[in-house]
Structure 1
């Protein structure tokens, strides 16, 4: 499939059936930590970047082949910012007519000042916007927004206005990069913004996968725990799944692995989790793909990541 991928294990959502609305990489931001890489089209213009009818057809095909759907949620994401897709609302509503599975939307939150975007997202069950800074200088440094983006106070206000009316759950993610948006002033401002938005969950993250810019560095667990303790409400520090027993590799997995690695770098444990294969089989499989020149490996903070070659 061209737009659907997985299902894959998500550390927050369980088994997730992914839907990728945009080609790499069309976004409102050019975040220094982005695992997809540098933004190639920096824009705020909403458009039908991929055919809505084709995405819906793939969803229908998946459900018709397996009405029970081996996934906990449908997750709408993009190799960029999914709210840029003008068919977003139609896609969410269509999924809701075909299945009772929750629909989740991952977003950087930049287009929430737009009432039309907020209205389209109302049909989802869980919306997960990011807010990496509540100070303009840090926001510009870590997210590098398009010139057409609304200013940061308007973005925060837009997220709050959405949550005031939203009947589902809003999970706010904050990603911290060392020396960029982790000062006491940053955390104080974020704390104030969190109180204003009043999300159902606050999730703290850091630079885990190989970033777009090498100077984007992670915080330690101790630093994350210290910062989490400064918030006035409970904050989750996002961690990896506890590993489960894996089964054996089967040949069908090649396309799924390549689809995963095309969208973002993954470790061998990531692949084991997503495809339920044992580490020995995964190692042999990755070694073979690397030998064939289909993927490449890289080391990042003591972990070995793999991604497809451009």
Structure 2
């Protein structure tokens, strides 16, 4: 399996297709994955293959390592566009997520006040009060909504909780009152059972856009596969397909960008 784990707690800086020069914050263990999804396109790999043996980094350790890296970058006049929570799984599962976000904002303000703080999340924990508060405070609250078709979600995103409900997710996304960026993966190919996974067609795009009209996000980011995936039968969406979807979203008065 050609997928790879990220170090913890600091990653990079790296160049992000969507965010620019990004310094990653991985609040999950460096030797495994903790996630409420088990996506077949996850660049980190399947949950079952990535069981961690190490603990999550503590709030204090994250802040200490982040400050050291920010100071180093400032001292040598490196550019920084964004500090991004992502890494080995779902960042909002960390029990001190809200406190870590507060520390990150404080350190950003001290060393790189023009940089943004972003969170890449699968939306499953965003209804929790502490997580919701933290997501409201960051600059880029980027939450996943790959589709509104539950059968597709079950086959592709594969939520680990049987209580997952797409209507609840949409309700949570609406509760940010526009202070949210929706992130959606479009792709083609098949799953291991040979079932078609093309979500670029009207069957998936039209109801997804209807959900966006309810959520009214400040931006939508659509993208396709860019790195190795644990399911090897997946394929990239084409530039033409992404551009068409982008234009349909924009026609509804919602800012939308496409990353290829």
Same fold (TM over 0.5): yes
RMSD: 2.4
Larger Rg: 1
Displacement after TM superposition at 1:36 (Å): 1.0
Q: Which residue of 1 aligns with 2:3?
A: none
CA contact (8 A) 1:104 1:124 kept: yes
Q: Please give the alpha-carbon distance, in whole angstroms, between the structure 2 residues aligned to 1:145 and 1:5.
A: 26
Change (3 A) 1:113 1:138: same
Q: Please give the alpha-carbon distance, in whole angstroms, between the structure 2 residues aligned to 1:204 and 1:5.
A: 23
Q: Which residue of 2 aligns with 1:200?
A: 218
**5+ residue gaps in structure 1?**
43-47, 240-310
Q: Do structure 1's residue 29 and structure 2's residue 50 form an aligned pair?
A: no
Q: Which residue of 1 aligns with 2:258?
A: 237
Q: Please give the alpha-carbon distance, in whole angstroms, between the structure 2 residues aligned to 1:200 and 1:145.
A: 26
> Among 136, 147, 161, which residue is 1:122 paired with?
136
Calculate the TM-score normalised by the size of structure 1: 0.68
Displacement after TM superposition at 1:67 (Å): 4.5
**5+ residue gaps in structure 2?**
1-6, 189-195
Q: Do structure 1's residue 227 and structure 2's residue 233 form an aligned pair?
A: no
Q: Please give the alpha-carbon distance, in whole angstroms, between the structure 2 residues aligned to 1:2 and 1:49.
A: 9
Q: Please give the alpha-carbon distance, in whole angstroms, between the structure 2 residues aligned to 1:139 and 1:2.
A: 29
Q: Which residue of 2 aligns with 1:172?
A: 182
Calculate the TM-score normalised by the size of structure 2: 0.80
Q: Please give the alpha-carbon distance, in whole angstroms, between the structure 1 residues aligned to 2:130 and 2:57.
A: 19
Alignment of 1:1-310 (within 5 A): 2-23=8-29, 24-40=32-48, 49-67=56-74, 70=78, 71-98=80-107, 99=109, 100=113, 101-161=115-175, 163-164=176-177, 166=179, 170-178=180-188, 179-180=196-197, 181-231=199-249, 232=252, 233-239=254-260
Q: Please give the alpha-carbon distance, in whole angstroms, between the structure 2 residues aligned to 1:78 and 1:56.
A: 16
Task: Tell me the alpha carbon deviations over residues 113-163 of structure 1, each in whole angstroms, 9 at most, x when there is no partner.
Answer: 3233211222211111111011111111210111245311101111111x2
- Between Structure 1 and Structure 2, how many residues are aligned? 231
Aligned-partner SS, 2:177: helix
CA contact (8 A) 2:45 2:229 kept: yes
Task: Tell me the alpha carbon deviations over residues 33-65 of structure 1, each in whole angstroms, 9 at most, x when there is no partner.
Answer: 1111111399xxxxx833222111112222444
Q: Please give the alpha-carbon distance, in whole angstroms, between the structure 1 residues aligned to 2:15 and 2:130.
A: 31
Aligned-partner SS, 1:223: helix
Change (3 A) 1:2 1:144: closer
